[in-house]
Amino acid sequence: MSAKRLHHGARAGAALRFLPCALAIGGLDPGGGAGIVADLRAFAAAGAFGCAAATLITVQSTAGLRRVRALGPGAVVEQASEVLRHQRVRAVKVGALATEANVLAVAKLLARYPRVPVVVDTPMIPTRGRKRLLASRATRALREVLLPKATLVTANAEEAQELSGEPVRTVSEAHDAARALARCGAQAVLVKGGHLGGPSAVDVLAVDGEVVELRAKRLASGSVHGTGCVLASLIAGRLARRPEGRLSRAELVKAIRWAKRVHHATLARAVVVGDGQRVMNP
């Protein structure tokens, strides 16, 4: 039976239920704690159908990152383009890209879909392991070519420091870094405060020329794998569910606040699935 006839038959037999897709472009963590596997769980929690295009393959588990093998930009773009062409992708989340060539290729691809919200997470170095998820020489391309395509950039203190070239050790310095990265062209920048000190974890959001602090009680959760991936993907998944059209500041901030609430609750109940770090299961 042809796809056209099957579609017609489905319409005739029952009302079709359309589900928005969220596309993750990032690395494969075979242990499932981070990368595109974690992204898919977060998309589902946000109510979106998860899709994924791999940029790199790792040898990794909750015990740490052992090896990284980058895929070429042609393979990355071919995967993502197929999904974007045929499925109802309403948001994209970009994670680990490994190489400068992948950064440039993904930026060029996203430029063809200016109405699709893009959340760019910026993983560079894993919490456990010495292998980089983004080559040092690719940092400039990430900052100058990909960040301008982003609806939202999410970066922890160390990543914000590498991208901005300035220290990020305090909330005040996080303000400066968020403003600096927003000047690269992103609609909004969220500098995450989980690695900063203090009784509260303070994330700093720069949007439309203003800076907002988003506070949460700091949890004594120890080392948890994939926290950044999950937060960015919760936001992207939530954005995928909004009606099509221009994304307003209010909608973006609402999605971020929702994702932070879910993320905080999930972090508080992180689970053990093996040796090493715990993981999040939203």
Q: What pLDDT digit, counting tens, does each position of 216-236 carry?
A: 888 876 789 999 999 999 999
User: In this structure, is residue 2 part of a structural domain?
Assistant: no
User: In this structure, is residue 1 part of a structural domain?
Assistant: no
Between CA 34 and CA 31 the distance in angstroms is 8
Q: What is the DSSP letter of 134?
A: B
Average pLDDT, the chain: 91
Note down the domain range covering 137: 20-279
For residue 130, the model assigns a pLDDT of 67
User: In this structure, is residue 71 part of a structural domain?
Assistant: yes
User: In this structure, is residue 161 part of a structural domain?
Assistant: yes
Confidence label for 181 from pLDDT (cuts 50, 70 and 90): very high
Backbone φ, ψ for residue 133 (5° rounding): -95, -10
> Over the stretch 241-276, which tens digit does the pLDDT of each residue have?
998 888 999 999 999 999 999 999 999 999 999 999
Confidence label for 194 from pLDDT (cuts 50, 70 and 90): confident
For residue 129, the model assigns a pLDDT of 63
User: In this structure, is residue 85 part of a structural domain?
Assistant: yes
Domains of the chain: total: 1
Domain CATH code at residue 53: 3.40.1190.20
Residues forming beta bridges with residue 120, ordered by sequence position: 94, 153
User: In this structure, is residue 12 part of a structural domain?
Assistant: no
Q: Are 170 and 196 in contact (CB under 8 A)?
A: yes
pTM (predicted TM-score): 0.92
